[in-house]
Chain A
Amino acid sequence: MSPEEERVPVPERGPEERKDDFDEVPLGYTPEQAMEEAERCLQCAKSPCIGGCPVEIEIPNFVEAVAEGNFQEALEIMKEFNVIPAITGRVCPQEEQCEEVCVMGNVGDPINIGKLERFIADYARENDLEEAPEIEEEKDLSVAIVGTGPSGITCAALLGQNGYQVTMYEALHEPGGVLKYGIPEFRLPNEVIDHELEYLDELDVDIKLNRIVGQNIELEELEEDFDAIYVATGAGSPRFLGLEGEDLKGVFSANEFLTRINLMKAYKFPEYDTPITDMEKVGVIGAGNVAMDSARCALRMGADSHILYRRTTEWSPARDEEIEHAKEEGVTFDTLCNPKRIIGDEDGWVDGIELFECTLEEPDDSGRPSPKILEDTEHKRDFDTVVIAIGQEPNKVFYENAKGVDVKDWGGIIIDDETRMTTKEGVFAGGDAVSGAATVIWAMGDGRTAAQNIMEYLED
């Protein structure tokens, strides 16, 4: 490949250096590197990249501004579509979205849109490029937002910019949703999230923590006080396999494992009070982003860390970058195996997992080959810790107590495609609470669309 066909490499901390700490792995571009990478963009007339982005950022204009060194302009273009570029630039599955359809990909490497996005956000933060947001004339209309994940944040920002009085309610003691309690700091530092939250502060968005709607405050109370409500409670309830041995000591849901380590900082125990068990050999069941994060956290807790997956790595739903990083750091991928049961010792601690071997057969509904369990292949592998990372579903505390808000049988909130309203007048919903576990950018896109719908609704 000629130089123009190749990406400008992103400086990263090496696996040996990083696998013992929780500091960020990719270091990001310097201004020179970013400009050089942006230069490669062909400025295609049809710019398919825009269609590849769920929020349709004007990528060519943004990239051009970076190439010309007009960082302020680049930032403004970006922020018009995406209020949290520092976050999406880090965690978006770009390779399946904007970058997958980038024309440069036909002749060489696609433009590194994600890292440019991250660069511009980081550069702006570090160099105080951001100006105080312009708030439209203040309106006498108020909106409550339930949940402070990316969907809630985006909706709040848009409404705030347009002069609405916004109050957010968050169940936990910190805002940010999965960005804080799930995604580890080596992928998304808290400092980055906090900065994006400061923007909400500048918009006079009020965030009320420790308020669990349906538990210590009711939806009806919000309806009395607000003109509209946006529900973005995410999909935070852990799924278990229903396997024998799941109640053993040393078995965690990925949510518990990650929340202990990230939100509660158990990796700094006993300086921080919340503990996590000592672990030598960890088996993570699953292979999505959540599993990768769990496996990489286990590694940083000093364990020999294994991903147990019933397909092969190429079919893993995790981002390529995360799989690469996990492999480099030394996570072992045990593929084509399916757990039968978790085995315990006499004291009730995990001692191992009994697994079947699998083979791959014809594609299933997801388009991926379906794994088939091979009879009589059960065998035990030793583990002292098991993390179950097979997905999350909506937390029922909200919907079971929200009279009039209908949900599907699996708990996803039902909304009208057009208006984004739930079955209850004035109550809107979006993000993982509606779609089931998806991605940050989809949740954000939902927040954006909902904000627009809410404004239309309130103007009528």
Chain B
Amino acid sequence: MHKITEKERLNEEMTRIEVEAPLVADKIKPGQFIVIRMHEKGERVPLTFYKKDKEKGTVQMIFQKVGKSTTELDTYEEGDELLDVVGPMGTAADIEDYGTVVCIGGGVGTPEVFPVAKALRNAGNEVIVISGFRTEDLVVCESDFDKGCANEIYITTDDGTYGREGFTSDVLEELIADEDTSLDLVHAVGPPIMMKVIAEITEEHDIDTRVSLNSIMLDATGMCGSCRVEVGEQMKLACVDGPEFDAHKVNFEELMQRITMFEEQEEEAMERWEEENGGCCR
């Protein structure tokens, strides 16, 4: 059992939790993820790690309420326990001194980008962070990047209520157009459509780009093939070969199609949850 040591609702959609998992905290690296299972009847939910505290033996995740499991997870309070917290899963991000790196986070992808950006900065890179949200109320992690982890930060909101109006890709295009900066690497985590657009832009300008794929996972140990994605015309398992891949080789169309596979069941589960829980939590 893994006790929740902290819980903080960041906004209407996102929550940060800190859980006891000393074995995970001891080893996890930027870019890797964790699988949690709340209880006996729960599914195995992959969440990227956001922060860790080796001494306390804890890890933190930020999750967005999108369906039944994440909505239920949001009802867990400090002191409650999760049945399984497994990790580190997947491969770690390659951290080297590349030169100038742009780290792009879309929505809940932003906290996922944070440890990577921090490690890249520590490795000597010039780090530019672009982080996009739908609207002002959903902005998270800005202060994290402030604290010496990014050389420059751009926040965008779709509706212009905070930072710059528009998408993360708009800022990226401006940076590329700026003749004073040359970009050596782009690291992007967010909704597949955002990663796809970014990959298209950087491919045109020949900038190495990595993305972290969120295909549907079941075991996350390489045993089932649920998370399979096409990369460079080969089948890869996002859980063990990834989740990070060369963005220019990923078949995003396939990914976007496959992640809707359980839509009908997801709706059914959510409806049932709301019925049983008085339709509260949304």
Contact = CB atoms under 8 A, between A and B. Distances in A.
Q: Do A and B come from one complex?
A: yes
Interface string B258-272: 101110111011001
Contacts of A270: 68, 265, 268-269, 272
Contacts of B262: 275, 277
B224 A172 contact: no
Interface residues of B, number: 40
Contacts of B258: 247, 249, 348
A172 B219 contact: yes
Nearest to A276: B265
Interface in B229-282: 230, 235, 240, 254, 257-258, 260-262, 264-266, 268-269, 272
B261 A249 contact: yes
B88 A215 contact: yes
Contacts of B84: 173, 209-210
B222 A216 contact: no
Contacts of B37: 173
Contact of B269 (A216, A246, A259, A275): A275
B124 to A, nearest CB: 28
Interface of B is mostly: mixed
A396 interface: yes
A172 B221 CA distance: 8
A247 B223 contact: no
B225 A255 contact: yes
Contact of A255 (B23, B223, B235): B223
A278 interface: yes
Contacts of B27: 216
Contacts of A240: 225, 228, 235
A171 interface: yes
A376 interface: no
Contacts of B147: none
Interface in B8-24: 23-24
Contacts of B194: none
A256 B226 contact: yes
Contacts of B43: 264, 272-274
A68 B260 CA distance: 61
Contact of B222 (A181, A246, A250, A397): A397
A237 interface: yes
Contacts of A172: 219, 221, 223
B38 to A, nearest CB: 8
B221 A171 contact: yes
A406 B141 CA distance: 45
A47 interface: no
B41 A210 contact: no
A209 B240 CA distance: 18
Contact of B225 (A249, A253, A276): A253
Interface string A161-184: 000000000011100000001000
Contact of B223 (A237, A273, A278): A237
B228 A247 contact: yes
Nearest to A274: B43
Given A215-B89, A216-B86, A269 B269 contact: yes
Given A237-B222, A396-B240, 19 more contacts: A173-B83, A212-B221, A216-B87, A240-B235, A247-B228, A247-B257, A255-B224, A256-B224, A256-B226, A264-B43, A270-B68, A270-B268, A270-B269, A272-B41, A274-B44, A275-B265, A348-B258, A348-B260, A395-B223
Shortest 3 CB-CB distances between A and B: which pairs?
A275-B265, A256-B224, A273-B43
Interface of A: 171-173, 181, 209-210, 212, 215-217, 236-238, 240, 246-247, 249-250, 252-253, 255-256, 259-260, 264-265, 269-278, 348, 395-397
14 contacts: A209-B84, A210-B86, A216-B23, A216-B87, A237-B222, A247-B254, A249-B261, A253-B224, A255-B223, A264-B43, A264-B218, A274-B43, A275-B269, A395-B223
